[in-house]
A and B are shown apart, each in its own frame.
Chain A
């Protein structure tokens, strides 16, 4: 029995759950939360079946139906999509179970569960799409659900504003993405369609069609298309400069932050670049842009995460930073080819586990202490043991703590964050420092790793150790919540180790049937032939292997010194008189630059008001001018109608006389 027949259920069941929860949620226990859980659990089981089938046979699952003209709707599950499917369904299921406990006191539960079910359906739609247009449609739906969920408590003005900001900022990315799709479509129609022979209908935007025919598209156009796609990814994944919505998006419930802004929606941008990777590798310079933007964002966001006092905002900046790492990993594809997809996806999946765990632990802490502010927490370890321990494991994963030099069967030993980040850093050193001479992204990555370790453990030490700084008595969270935390923490610890090599092998060979070397030649990228992961071990110096651990443990120690032992006073460094701190605390004055300067003064003051002025005075002026001219003329001309019949007689005679006069001078007489 092939799974092909039932894969359409994977997104369809959550949609059904959305409708049912919206309709009947009020009457059901716990706000109808069990309907999405059931639906997503079934989707998860079908995803597992699909994954097993692809793993055995190596043939992707393709289901397609004709839509209209040269477009189709369809499902494509190749190794890349299958691992993403597993992660999305599994993490979404766990977070839904957690939300039963977390949202227990919220009156609007049916709306919450309906919206998260719809979100899950949309994200699955993005993952399963087999053509770029369907991808975009689901992408937009994901953005909509994000807006709905961030502004879930819409009566709070900051939440409503945050939802609007998220939607508008990602919209900028979406417009770029759509522009890319349109340009791609026109290029496909102009350059590819003449070459396709045969009588069967060809679908121009289907991924397989695009990848088979990339060599027909001119490379200038290809660069523009891929950069526009990357623009969409920048918006959705919160890279610089469209990252401004992610910290504000923490206004939503913590489970929303965990689901959307840690594991699924923000990874859609990375998934886009991975999905269209043959195009990126065939376009000159696109991958280098990806790497630079990713590296820069990783460093930039981690500097801002150092000074945040809101527990969720630290994690938000951490997410932005880790997404930068994933983009950096994809950017390595210019040298190592499609194996880069494997590295980026590995970090993505691991990040999903430990970041979701971190957010849910933060949610547990917020739930019990009633505050988001780190300065008001402290000493929670004694009261909330499970939360503290799971958060410790997840923090170790985020900071990338592990044992260097030791490899059992080719797999490094350490937390999953260590395994994936170590892989990226080691590969990155090889790619960026040895092969190309662009070592800047690599340097950004190392610095970001150091800062990541610092702020991660700053958060843990401030929340869980030290003297309690508030009067409320915190309590441990209910079993539904702690159970999920434990599962996620276990995954955060061991998933990396257990699946390192098979994963890279499986996903790295997604694009084997595309001729990556040939495409890479088109893009001016020199790709290593038959790249073997193990070769790097012999090429790199030992410092490179120590570097992630030095950075991770060093950051942990630094945070311990400052925030636990208090040997260095926080207040002496972290006050506004210190200019470095002030810049970071004000988030590099981005609010002032983007909103005050560019948005209000320039766009509103100059562009909008000028357009309004010209529209009112000139355009309306012309219209009103014409009409008042005509009315004025009519006012003058109407005086002819005096109402006295004799004047009309005069006019008649005058007219006849004039006509006779004119005719007589033309010689009619």
Chain B
């Protein structure tokens, strides 16, 4: 393991992380609750949507729907994401390049 920072900061970091964890867990438990959510209590009851492949197998992962949404409703973010990746590529290439004299 890496050498940890000075003792003072060490303690503060630990305390901070633990406190954050306590807060988040407390928030989750108090809002969402620990019982499984019964479908009838949901705001909008949505039936399970299977996809049936050609060989008859059922697919509950919903990957076909993901693809469909990706190219219809969310196509603009998709294209923009491509541009972002291009920009990141060019940027990191430039910054990591060895400088010639």
Task: List the interface of chain A (C-beta within 8 A of B).
Answer: 646-647, 650, 653-654, 656-658, 660-661, 664, 669
Contacts and interface: CB of A to CB of B under 8 A. Distances in A.
A441 to B, nearest CB: 91
B12 interface: yes
Contacts of A654: 12, 16, 19
Contacts of A653: 16-17, 20
A669 B27 contact: yes
Determine chain B's interface SS by DSSP, over half rule: helix
Contact of A669 (B12, B20, B30): B30
Contacts of B23: 657, 660-661, 664
B19 A650 contact: no
Interface in B26-58: 26-27, 30-31
12 contacts: A650-B9, A650-B12, A650-B16, A656-B20, A657-B20, A658-B19, A660-B23, A661-B19, A664-B26, A664-B27, A669-B27, A669-B30
B49 to A, nearest CB: 33
A656 B20 CA distance: 8
A661 B27 CA distance: 10
Nearest to A642: B9
A656 B16 CA distance: 10
Determine chain A's interface SS by DSSP, over half rule: helix
Given A657-B23, A661-B19, A661-B23, A669 B13 contact: no
Contacts of A661: 19, 23
Contacts of A658: 19
Given A647-B9, A657-B16, 20 more contacts: A646-B5, A650-B9, A650-B12, A650-B16, A653-B16, A653-B17, A653-B20, A654-B12, A654-B19, A657-B20, A657-B23, A658-B19, A661-B19, A661-B23, A664-B23, A664-B26, A664-B27, A664-B30, A669-B30, A669-B31
Nearest to A647: B9
Contacts of A646: 5
Most chain B beta-carbon neighbours within 10 Å: one of A657, A658, A664: A657
A650 B20 contact: no
A658 B16 CA distance: 9
B31 A657 contact: no
B33 to A, nearest CB: 12
Contacts of B26: 664
A647 B10 CA distance: 10
A650 B31 CA distance: 26
A666 to B, nearest CB: 13
A656 B19 CA distance: 10
B53 to A, nearest CB: 44
A657 B15 CA distance: 11
Contacts of A657: 16, 19-20, 23
A647 B5 CA distance: 10
Given A653-B16, A653-B20, A654-B16, A660 B9 contact: no
- Which 9 A-B residue pairings sit nearest by Cβ, starting from the closest? A657-B20, A660-B23, A657-B19, A654-B16, A653-B16, A669-B30, A657-B23, A650-B13, A661-B23
A317 B12 CA distance: 90
A658 B27 CA distance: 13
A286 B23 CA distance: 89
Interface in B74-101: none
B27 A660 contact: yes
Contacts of B17: 653
A638 B5 CA distance: 20
Nearest to A646: B5
B32 to A, nearest CB: 11
A646 B6 CA distance: 13
A304 to B, nearest CB: 85
B94 to A, nearest CB: 23
Contacts of B20: 653, 656-657
Contacts of A650: 9, 12-13, 16
Nearest to A659: B23
Most chain A beta-carbon neighbours within 10 Å: one of B5, B19, B30: B19
Contacts of A664: 23, 26-27, 30
A477 B18 CA distance: 113
Nearest to A653: B16
